[in-house]
A and B are shown apart, each in its own frame.
Chain A
Amino acid sequence: MRIGVFVCHCGENIGRTVDCHAVAEACAHFPGVAHSEDYKYMCSDPGQNLIKQAIREKGLDAVVVGSCSPHMHEKTFRKACADAGVNPYMVEIANLREHCSWIHDDIKAGTRKSIDLMRFAVEKVKFNVPLSPIRVPVTKRTLVIGGGISGIQAALDVANAGYEVVLVEKEPSIGGHMSQLSETFPTLDCSQCILTPRMVEVYQHPKIKLMSYSEVEKVDGFIGNFTVTIRKKAKSIKEEFCTGCGLCAQKCPIKKKALSEFDEGLSFRSAMYVPFPQAVPNIPVIDREVCTYFKNGKCALCKSVCGRDAIDFDQQDRFVKEEVGAIIVATGYKLYTIDKKPEGSIYKGYGEYGYGKYKDVIDGLQFERIASASGPTSGEILRPSDNKEPQKIVFIQCVGSRDESKGISYCSKICCMYTAKHAMLYKHKVHHGEAYVFYMDIRSGGKNYEEFVRRAIEEDHVKYIRGRVSKIYEEDGKLIVRGEDTIAGMPVTIDADLVVLATAMVPQPEASVLAQTLGVSYDKYGYFQEVHPKLRPVETATGGIFLAGACHSPRDIPECVSMASAAAAKTMVLFGSDMLEREPVVAEVDPSTCAGCFYCKKVCAYNAIDINEIRDRKGQLQKVVAHVNSGLCQGCGTCNATCPSKSIELIGFRDDQIFAQINAFAEV
């Protein structure tokens, strides 16, 4: 090997406390060094030309530059060498500035240390090998999981950029929770009015393949090359024939056996149902649990009235495979179930508030349905128990949130705003009604949010009481709410007609199952984990899988929309080229020495180690060894250090390269 050594003065930055000429002289005597010189500004054009000239004249095949930190100019020098015909990975940088000249005043110590650092780099580069960036092909299609506002936004952005999208939604209709809301803060826009045009756009978009009433079953592959198996659940309808006329749902005789999920249990729906009138797609679904035909073979009224013969009782769940290059997860949230007997989860109930016991203790989404013009009460604020108009409503914030003893220590972010909104909606409809809000703090940090809450207090005269509620019980048809007013320093008792609980936002219960299917991390609550909370909030540690919306953490609609567009942008960055180019600093297995213990697989944070069976020509198993998927490997080297036989090594930081540096320590 013929190594070229170049020591930069960096003007006075290195030259003042390090004798660069002496360093270059010393390096000239290292075995393997064919050329050694120093220069004022190595990164400048003339400096780079010196390197290129030396490469040509002296036939150099590796270069060591003593300069500023590699974080500054490693790329510069790599490019210069590549231009002159030396592989860019045959370049090593010794940090003589940040790690030497700038931190020592003693020129003797500084020079000696610089010589040592140069020696380490020279010894390391002797074991470098030429490398090329790894190329992985990219399928330019995206899977979006979840058809709420986040999924819809992400799907539209990607589709409008010209790439195909597969949108999978587990409910019969897209729209998510936003379609259940009556009005949105801070504008009090009608939620469905702003959402439904988007829903229709998705349905009609030529680049979006919508799969409703479907779930992601299995995900194989890696970034740019995922194969996703999707279960299309049986709607019992042949979608190609259905016109959405709604006659079947109208005629369905089973009207009171199932509670409407869309109305949060406040009304019934039929066995053959469309979740709400503006559902997209407007195709009904048979709930086989309550349908008479599926229970005892009778009825089939829907089939007889259907003019298009679209009903298919024999339909089964179908599995389809889709090839995609990127996945956006937008599974959203649900509200914390806070009755006394939670389903064996980390959450503990709020039995003391009587949710599930008293009909008139409801949660935020139920209030939205009551306030909604298309809801069970046609928009009139009426109590669920007796359909009377409540004269006093108590709203309680922070139910479940910010309460470590109940299992949730975080703040759900949106409750202060929607509680103010609920109180305002109530007051707009029941002018003489009294609205009380029990709060711990008011968190209204968004644009026009603080003004919105002030409006509730000052214009709509909602009474805010700082304190928590200890108990709610029923007496003479009223709900007695016992709480505390901490500012006045005294207990408060209110005889309410209706109590609305601002319960915590939690991830979907199956989120952790989906996370494991995808191979992404999640926290103890089930929220999906981002790579870096500050700088990479929409990416997961698994390449090619991005996050959008409330499945990541509690957030409101504008934040969901922003995040969805961000995830879409990340997808488009991925699709920007036909081949994905990655730094070749990845691990590699030597199958001849690998014992197949797979300790490397255990420590790989990126699932980049596969199990490889080595068979002979007759198909007999010889051994099982590890194999690195270079598309997924991020190059940390934990596998290398964990492997007892060193059968897996990290290219660029291999054992022999590090050994050479440690060995050079003997000369220090």
Chain B
Amino acid sequence: MNGLNEVCREAISGNKAALIIGYTEDKHHHLKPFIAHTEADTDKLTYNHNAVNNLAVYLHRFRNRTEGRIGIVVKPCDLKAITALIQENRVKRDDLYVIGVNCSGVVKDQNKEFSKENTQIKCKTCAGKTPAWYDVVVEESVEFELPEDNNALLMKQIEEMSAEERLEFWNSEFEKCIKCYACREVCPMCYCDQCIVDKTEPRWIESSATNRANFAWNMIRAFHQAGRCIGCGECDRVCPADIPLSLLNRKMGMVAFKEFGYRHGTDMNAPTLIGTFSTSDHEEFIR
């Protein structure tokens, strides 16, 4: 589209980036992740409403690279993941060439047209159509009709349930979980070399798809993301069992903001929430 290909071509030819992680269109007119290594490759890059993937997750493959910067095409919501990874010293700002995209919303279902019903819920609460920072920015952002925030509705319903009802609700959701770990694989903040669920001595979380193991897995993943999730919603999108996973992370994000005024991925120099403390953290729940 406008500007994207020129910018990317120039980035490769001008040695601003050694490679560019972006989107390309397949024969079904879906957009999928694509890594451009040469100028010719950059012609294949594109961006439209189907650009659902959070490409920040691919940055982990290029750790400890010494030759050249990593270019990445990124929409405003996904940029927070990059900011978060910089906050956590996982990538260095100077190792990146960030090609920001002025976004006009992304779809839920790539097979259908972009419309109010077919817009991701996160687009409703998107903090801005322009990325917060970038090396270069492309595209024009176009106004679009905001979708319904069904997640907020569901959150409210859950909070009005009793404790037993809530446990029943989540248990019935997690019963569908097949432990495919797609949620973990697609999440840019899940970058452990060996995940806790893969640790066998001891086996804190069983990998089998039983109710108790599913509950433990989803609880612990949500906890490891507490104060770290940046709300890209990819986990929800990729879950083959349609479990509303992002609600757990959303709840943790709300608590992080309410208790500590903290939002991960907004300030690359901010100290992280977990790993720091304040002597005035509240404690009325502690006897």
Contacts and interface: CB of A to CB of B under 8 A. Distances in A.
Interface of A: 592-595, 597-599, 602-603, 621-624, 642, 644-647, 655-656, 659-660
A599 B64 contact: no
A598 B275 CA distance: 9
Contacts of B193: 592-595, 645, 647
Given A621-B64, A659-B204, A645 B275 contact: no
B238 interface: no
Given A599-B275, A644-B224, A623 B196 contact: no
B201 A656 contact: yes
Contact of B195 (A592, A623, A645, A660): A645
B134 interface: no
Contacts of B276: 602
B20 to A, nearest CB: 23
B89 A645 contact: no
A602 B275 contact: yes
A659 B275 contact: no
Contacts of B90: 597
Contact of A645 (B64, B194, B202): B194
Contacts, number: 56
A409 B88 CA distance: 37
Describe A's contact surface by its main secondary structure.
Answer: mixed
A646 B64 contact: no
A593 B90 CA distance: 15
B192 A644 contact: yes
A660 B202 contact: yes
Q: Which 4 interchain pairs have the tightest Cβ spacing?
A: A659-B202, A602-B275, A645-B192, A593-B194
Given A644-B196, A659-B204, 20 more contacts: A592-B194, A593-B194, A597-B89, A598-B89, A599-B88, A599-B272, A599-B274, A599-B275, A602-B272, A602-B276, A603-B275, A621-B64, A623-B63, A642-B274, A642-B275, A644-B224, A647-B193, A647-B194, A656-B202, A659-B202
A597 B88 contact: yes
A646 B274 contact: no
A385 to B, nearest CB: 47
B274 A645 contact: no
Contacts of B191: 595, 597
Contacts of A593: 192-194, 199
Contacts of B199: 593, 645-646, 655
Interface residues of B, number: 22
Nearest to A645: B192
Interface string B168-200: 000000000000000000000001111110010
Given A599-B274, A642-B275, A623 B88 contact: no
A659 B274 CA distance: 24
A598 B89 CA distance: 8
Contacts of B278: none
Contacts of B66: 621
Nearest to A611: B89
Contacts of B272: 599, 602
Contact of A646 (B88, B89, B196, B275): B196
Given A593-B194, A599-B274, A647-B194, A622 B202 contact: no
Interface in B37-69: 63-64, 66
21 contacts: A593-B192, A593-B193, A593-B199, A595-B192, A597-B90, A599-B275, A602-B275, A602-B276, A621-B64, A621-B66, A622-B64, A623-B63, A642-B275, A644-B192, A645-B196, A645-B199, A646-B199, A646-B204, A655-B199, A659-B204, A660-B202
A1 to B, nearest CB: 15
A624 B224 CA distance: 21
Contacts of A592: 193-194
Contacts of B203: 659
Contacts of B64: 621-624
Nearest to A644: B224
A656 B201 CA distance: 6
B180 to A, nearest CB: 20
B256 to A, nearest CB: 16
Interface centre among B194, B204, B224 (most CB of A within 10 A): B194
Contacts of B88: 597, 599
A597 B89 CA distance: 7
A593 B195 CA distance: 9
A651 to B, nearest CB: 14
Interface string B80-124: 000000001110000000000000000000000000000000000
Nearest to B64: A621
Interface centre among A592, A623, A646 (most CB of B within 10 A): A646
Contacts of B194: 592-593, 645, 647
